[in-house]
Amino acid sequence: MSWILSGLYCGTIWLIFAKLKLIRLSLPVAIVLASVGPGLIIALLFCAQYFHPYTKQSIVIAQIDPITAQLSVSGRVNEVRVAPNEPIQKGDVLFTVDPVPYQNAVNLAKAGLEQAKQNVELSKSTVELSNATLDRAKADLTYATNDRDRYQKLRESGGASQDELERAETQFQQAGAALNQAEQSLKQASISVGVAQAKQTQAETTLDNAEYDLQQTTVRAPANGYVTNLQLHPGMLLGPTTGPVMSFIRDTDEHKRGVIVAVFDEKNFLRIKPEQYAELAMDAYPGEILTGQVLDVISVSGTGQLVASGAIPTDLASGKPTQFAVRIQLDEVDSHPLPGGAQGQAAVYTGDVQIAGIPVMFLIRANSWMNYLF
């Protein structure tokens, strides 16, 4: 740009003073031309690169979902129902995994749950039986207590023998022991109910997990879009450690269409504000300038992030100069569709020193035409 402005300046001087001879070239005039002109060019270029940020790094970011089969046990791909680069609707089946082992696990879990429910009912019946035994033991103890007291009074009056009193005492002690045993049996039966209910809950969880695993054997599209680079085929073994098996490209949402991410240097990043006018020269449209406005600025960079560790960083603020991303929304989206990964150049024009934006406008247009050649 400096060479172009210098050439224009020198050409203007030659045209005025040599070709047309509109003004006589004298020493004072030559001194003024040699000092003022270059100074103005330098000032213009300084204002252009500072007040109107320009970058050669702008790109269209696509929404890509890595599709992974979330399986707890390994299984083989049964069927692939999609073809590469063909439109897919949300909820359409992408591929299926052989469901037989997972269905068997569901059946086994259902049987285990049914058994657990029966164990709960059996434990509750044991509690009811223990309650009945406890009631009988209490009644026997009451009867034995009354019988012992009666024989004690008869023994004191001489109406009963010592053997009869001892038998009454023995029956009283046996009734007390039976009551204690009945209480312990009831306690154990109550605990067994809690254990059986816990096992039932565990069986229900096992069934839920088995049914979830069975559902995961059918993998569906998360949104409208298409699959590309499809390398998955029937017979492949997938498991818990298997990574993504295909890339799903989402259709761009209406509010995200025509959004381009441009990366600017730190020196003039803070001058960029939302809703400022922007121009883009995309490689896909040589000779054209796409207009838009700043959607938002991302005021953070990866160099400003520290990873949690036990070591103290020693290489802070080293490496390449920091750059920051800016999202630009195109004005005309339908007439200029851009695929994910499309690259180009971008310029943002602030409200300061607007005349300095002319060199930037010339530069981005010249580079746009150069896209025909390079």
Q: What is the pLDDT of residues 188-231, one digit of tens each?
A: 878 888 888 898 899 999 999 999 999 999 999 999 999 988 88
β-pairing, 290-298 with 323-330? antiparallel
Rounded CA gap, 58 and 54, in Å?
10
**For the chain, domain boundaries:** 1-51, 53-62+252-305+319-374, 64-94+217-250, 101-215
Lowest mean pLDDT among 73-77, 95-99, 250-254, 367-371: 250-254
**What are the strands, taking DSSP E only, across 229-322?**
237-238, 246-250, 259-265, 277-282, 290-298
pLDDT score for 252: 78
pTM: 0.68
Taken as a whole, the chain contains a residue count of 374
Report the distance separating Cα 134 and Cα 121, nearest Å.
Answer: 20
Are the beta carbons of 243 and 68 closer than 8 angstroms?
yes
The CATH number fitting domain 101-215, selected from 3.40.50.720, 3.50.50.60, 1.20.120.330, 3.40.50.150: 1.20.120.330
* 162-174 confidence digits (pLDDT tens): 776 677 778 778 7
For residue 297, list its beta bridge partners. 326
Fold that domain 53-62+252-305+319-374 belongs to in CATH? Elongation Factor Tu (Ef-tu); domain 3 (2.40.30)
Instruction: List pLDDT tens digits, range 182-192.
Output: 778 778 878 88
For the record, the structure tokens of 162 come out as 């010592």
CATH architecture label of 64-94+217-250:
Beta Barrel (2.40)
